[in-house]
Copies of this chain bind each other. A is one copy, B any other.
Amino acid sequence: MSYTGLYQSQHLRTACSNCSVSELCLPFGLTGPEIQQLDKLIVQRFKVKKNLALYRTGDPLRSLYAVRIGSFKTNVISVNGREQVTGFQMPGELLGLDAISTEIHGCNAFALEDSEVCPIHFAHLEKLAGELPSLQHNLNKILSREIVRDHDMLMTLGNMNSEERLAAFLLNLSQRLSMRGYSPTHFLLKMRREEIGSYLGLRLETICRSIAHLRDRGLVEISGRDVEIHNLKGLNQLVAGCHRLRLG
């Protein structure tokens, strides 16, 4: 069995397994005729084989990348050789935003499976943004949203125990997949336990044990990379108290 889909086995596929150009424009919040402007930037596409780098720390920023097919992880390697995973990206999401500050990539991006991306030449994007206020506005929003996401992650690492972190992680994947039309309750993990652990600030053994705990509570069934969420509500309750209090 082979997967062209992502985080989702073929027979479960309920939506497109890849992203069209106009879908790639979605993060930029563009509609109608403006898409055609952005279209001009999203002309190329290329494949990245599993475990190969899309870019590496220190590479100059040429393009941002929109994931079309597959999935990626971004990580930073410390002097003493430890990996810190800073994020996982799936189709329709952007890679490389952190490089804008220095115009040099500050992390590595590796394909977790055979994948395909569309490069978006950054200098051209900025030029186009200068002409299209709504594009500029949305670029600001995209960058800001990334900051919000990171703050949520800080909250996860600062306030949650291992079981809650794993639950929050699974719910996050579930939500992002359902946004793209996939099943929110049944999907495949493309990363190893060790990578999940790095992302969540835990050791891989702790991830295994937390999986076992969630299983014992009857909330999920996870065998290998295959995830089945039995009780979405229960998972949500587990992390509810740790979430951002929304006012206004």
Per assembly, the copies of the chain total 2
Binary B-proximity of A130-157 (CB < 8 A = 1, otherwise 0): 1001001101111111111011011101
Residue of B whose beta carbon sits closest to that of A86: B151
List, in ascending order, chain B residues with CB within 8 A of A244's CB: 57, 76-79, 106
Contacts of A107 on B, CB cut-off 8 Å? Answer: 151
The answer to whether the Cβ of A98 comes within 8 Å of any Cβ in the partner chain is yes
Interface residues of A in 61-104 (CB under 8 A from B): 76-80, 82, 84, 86, 97-102, 104
Check A101–B241 contact: CB distance below 8 A: no
Partner of A247, one of B57, B137, B142: B57
B-side contacts of A151, CB under 8 Å: 76, 86, 98, 106-107, 150
Asked if residues B243 and A79 are in contact (CB atoms below 8 Å), the reply is yes
A129 CA to B58 CA, complexed, in Å: 29
Given the known interface contacts A141-B101, A147-B143, A148-B98, the answer about A59 and B248 at a Cβ–Cβ threshold of 8 Å is yes
Closest B residue to A146 by beta carbon equals: B147
The interface of chain A, by Cβ under 8 A from chain B, is: 56-59, 76-80, 82, 84, 86, 97-102, 104, 106-107, 126, 129-130, 133, 136-137, 139-148, 150-151, 153-155, 157-159, 198-199, 201, 240-248
Given A59-B248, A102-B148, 18 additional A-B pairs, CB 8 A: A56-B247, A57-B245, A76-B155, A78-B242, A79-B240, A79-B242, A79-B243, A86-B155, A98-B148, A100-B141, A101-B141, A106-B244, A126-B140, A143-B144, A147-B147, A150-B153, A154-B157, A158-B201
